[in-house]
């Protein structure tokens, strides 16, 4: 399309030499455009809304990574940034065509790049994991629905134990899943939309267990959970129990975020899916049906 969507300010158009732009996402936290620049290149612009200012640490994470495993940050202006256009093929869609094993191989490859050593000092703005989990701790102590209170209390207890014994603390993407890994450029598969966290690397695979969207039957399949544990543990360098416990902790946190957004565990949305996953994962951990 030619021209500009109303949400793309003139000062950004001028600063980044944008000739035309296409609005590709309008979420609660940001506007995202694919921009066609006067020099013939393409890029992505992302403008944070007031509800998305927590993502500023994610932009700092991209700046620190310098394209290793993630899209490159090309420029920034206030709460807007210009990003490398990594393509439009989501790992979620690739998985539908090529299967779970192929998608998991890509996740492992991207994860290894994201966790590769950098000589640069990490930014101070990265969010510590304990602060990241604040919504879970607050809701678990105040929830009055008995079933939900029990589940969130269990998840919060595990989270507290994990966060009190973190090792190998490092910068984390913090939101790695099938819709935040994209391809289509010559650089192959890259991670987008990091949270920009700081903590135990075992957390960086926790969100994969509850994804991709639309794969509910597989998400709650114990055999799939076990396969993911087998894949991730050696790459992270920890035991499978720790990976599973972080997945349980994150499921509780994700439930809280969804409930804050108006979701209900009695519905068919993310809260229900994560609640169901949490119960299955808890059974695996409690019953010790396989050796960790």
Omega cis (within 30) before 2: no
Non-local CB neighbours of 98 within 8 Å, separated by 6+ positions: none
Q: Say which CATH superfamily domain 10-84 falls into.
A: Phosphorylase Kinase; domain 1 (3.30.200.20)
For residue 183, the cross-strand partners are 89
Nearest of 261, 51, 255, 69 to residue 176 by alpha carbon? 69
10-84 and 89-287 agree in CATH topology: no
Digitized pLDDT (tens) for each residue of the chain, 292 residues in all = 344 545 688 999 999 999 999 999 998 899 999 999 999 999 999 999 999 999 999 999 999 999 999 999 999 999 999 999 999 999 999 999 999 999 999 999 999 999 999 999 999 999 999 999 999 999 999 998 998 999 999 999 999 999 999 999 999 999 999 999 999 988 999 999 999 999 999 999 999 999 999 999 999 999 999 999 999 999 999 999 999 999 999 999 999 999 998 888 877 889 999 999 999 999 999 987 555 5
> How far apart are alpha carbons 221 and 226 in whole angstroms?
9
The pairing of beta strand 170-172 with beta strand 73-77: unpaired
Reduce the secondary structure of 215-230 to three states and give it as a string. Answer: CHHHHCCHHHHHHHHH
Phi, psi angles (nearest 5°) of residue 36:
-110, 115
Nearest of 169, 192, 168, 170 to residue 179 by alpha carbon? 192
User: What's the pTM value of the predicted model, to 2 decimals?
Assistant: 0.94
Residue 29 burial by CB count (10 A; 0-12/13-18/19+): exposed, middle or buried? middle
Q: Which residue has the tokens 């391809």?
A: 183
User: CA-CA distances (angstroms) from residue 40 to 17, 21, 37, 96, 277?
Assistant: 10, 13, 5, 33, 46
Where do the structural domains in the chain lie, given as residue ranges? Answer: 10-84, 89-287
User: Kindly report the CA angle at 270 between 136 and 244, in degrees rounded to 5?
Assistant: 60
- Specify the CATH class of 89-287 in words: alpha beta
Phi, psi angles (nearest 5°) of residue 214:
95, 0
- Tell me the per-residue pLDDT of 31-87, one tens digit each, with 9 for 90 and over: 999 999 999 999 999 999 999 999 999 999 999 999 999 999 999 999 999 999 999
Residues taking part in catalysis: 175
Residue pair 173/237 in contact (Cβ under 8 Å)? The answer is: no
> How far apart are alpha carbons 50 and 55 in whole angstroms?
10
């Amino acid at each position: 399309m030619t021209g500009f969507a109303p949400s793309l300010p003139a000062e950004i158009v001028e600063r980044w030499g944008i000739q035309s732009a296409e609005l590709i996402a309008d979420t609660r936290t940001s506007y995202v455009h694919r921009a066609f620049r006067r020099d013939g290149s393409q890029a992505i612009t992302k403008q944070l809304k007031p509800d998305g200012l927590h993502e500023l640490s994610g932009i700092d994470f991209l700046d620190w990574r310098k394209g290793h495993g993630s899209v490159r940050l090309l420029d920034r202006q206030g709460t807007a940034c210009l990003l490398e256009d990594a393509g439009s093929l989501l790992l979620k869609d690739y998985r539908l065509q090529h299967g779970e094993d192929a998608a998991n191989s890509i996740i492992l490859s991207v994860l290894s790049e994201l966790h590769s050593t950098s000589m640069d000092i990490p930014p101070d703005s990265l969010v510590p994991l304990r602060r990241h989990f604040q919504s879970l701790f607050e809701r678990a102590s105040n929830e009055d629905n008995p079933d939900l209170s029990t589940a969130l209390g269990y998840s919060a207890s595990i989270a507290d134990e994990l966060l009190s014994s973190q090792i190998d603390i490092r910068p984390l993407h913090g939101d790695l899943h099938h819709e935040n890994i994209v391809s289509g450029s010559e650089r192959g598969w890259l991670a987008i939309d990091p949270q920009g966290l700081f903590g135990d690397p075992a957390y960086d695979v926790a969100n994969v267990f509850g994804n991709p969207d639309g794969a509910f039957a597989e998400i709650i399949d114990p055999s799939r959970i076990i396969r993911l544990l087998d894949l991730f543990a050696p790459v992270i360098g920890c035991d499978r129990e720790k990976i599973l416990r972080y997945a349980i902790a994150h499921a509780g946190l994700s439930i809280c975020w969804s409930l804050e957004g108006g979701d209900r565990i009695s519905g068919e949305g993310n809260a229900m899916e994560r609640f169901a996953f949490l119960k299955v994962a808890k059974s695996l951990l409690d019953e010790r049906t396989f050796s960790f």
